[in-house]
Structure 1
Amino acid sequence: MTDAAGLIPVPSGQVVTLLDTIWNEPGPSGLTFRFRFLAPGIGSGGGIDYDTAFADMLALCQAYVVPKIADVLPQPEQVIISFSDRPLPFGAADPEATQYFEAFSIQDGHCILEAF
């Protein structure tokens, strides 16, 4: 799931590392787990567009998040995966930062994109 340097492989090959996981902030659908990743390749000049980043987020949800929460009870109603091109505190806005967010539900071990 991660290499020796703590990097998590994704389809695009961009460098992605876990910033943190937040499970104590309620979401719109109930129990929500947030997996926040640093993905410098999405920033200006990084070359990773939204569609490529989305494919990476879906892959992370399936290969990284699903195994991490498999034994968690109760199961979250929603998982939010976020990418940021720089470390930011949870909930902070920075007009210079590039951030992407996607919400998923987990059904039968599969990540299902949710309206966000």
Structure 2
Amino acid sequence: MFTVLAAAGGCDEAEPSADAIPVPSGREVRLIEVVTNVPGPDGATARFRFLAPGLTEADIPASADDMQALCDTYALARIDGMVPEPQQIIISLAGEDVPFGEAAPDVVQFFEAFEVTDGTCILAAF
């Protein structure tokens, strides 16, 4: 299930990425931050927040593939050694850098949740 929402909570760690992270759509995507100090419904959760300038609601189909790729190729490799070990990864894309937990109804943001099962990102109900 694909979700377009505003998140709520607090921040934690990770330096913003100066380098674009490759995604299937070819869109320019950069890491904003990783938030690990706000549990999700399944317990420990790692939220990987990405900036995708110019994101629009018309980008939903391509963004779903991009978020799966970001979980598989970027986030999954970075949760190893996190304590507690995340049971869920949430990937978000935002058209503008919005502080975590702040509402921004004028900014397009997409969120997708993934369960971590046997070292694989499995799309989860969100």
TM-score range, shorter chain: 0.7 to 0.9
The residue identity in structure 2 corresponding to 1:42 is L
- Report deviation, 1:5: 4.8
Contact 1:31–1:76 (Cα < 8 Å) also in 2: yes
Identity %: 49
- Report deviation, 1:41: 3.7
Q: Deviations over 1:65-102 (max 9, x none)?
A: 11111233432111100000000010111121000000
Which structure 2 segments of 5+ residues have no match? 1-16
Higher relative contact order structure (alpha carbons within 8 Å, sequence separation ≥ 6): 2
Match of 1:75 in 2: 85
Match of 1:57 in 2: 67
> Equivalent of 2:32, from 19, 22, 31?
19
Q: Cα RMSD over matched residues?
A: 1.7
Aligned-partner Cα distance in 1 for 2:112–2:23: 16
Query: What secondary structure, in the 3-state scheme, does the structure 2 residue paired with 1:42 have?
Result: coil
Match of 1:40 in 2: 53
Contact 2:53–2:94 (Cα < 8 Å) also in 1: yes
Aligned-partner Cα distance in 2 for 1:82–1:33: 11
Aligned-partner Cα distance in 1 for 2:114–2:82: 16
- Report deviation, 1:43: 2.8
Match of 1:113 in 2: 123
Which structure 1 segments of 5+ residues have no match? none
Aligned-partner Cα distance in 2 for 1:91–1:73: 22
Aligned-partner Cα distance in 2 for 1:59–1:81: 10
Match of 1:99 in 2: 109
- Provide TM-score, normalisation by structure 2: 0.81
Runs of 4+, deviation exceeding 3 Å: none
- Provide TM-score, normalisation by structure 1: 0.87
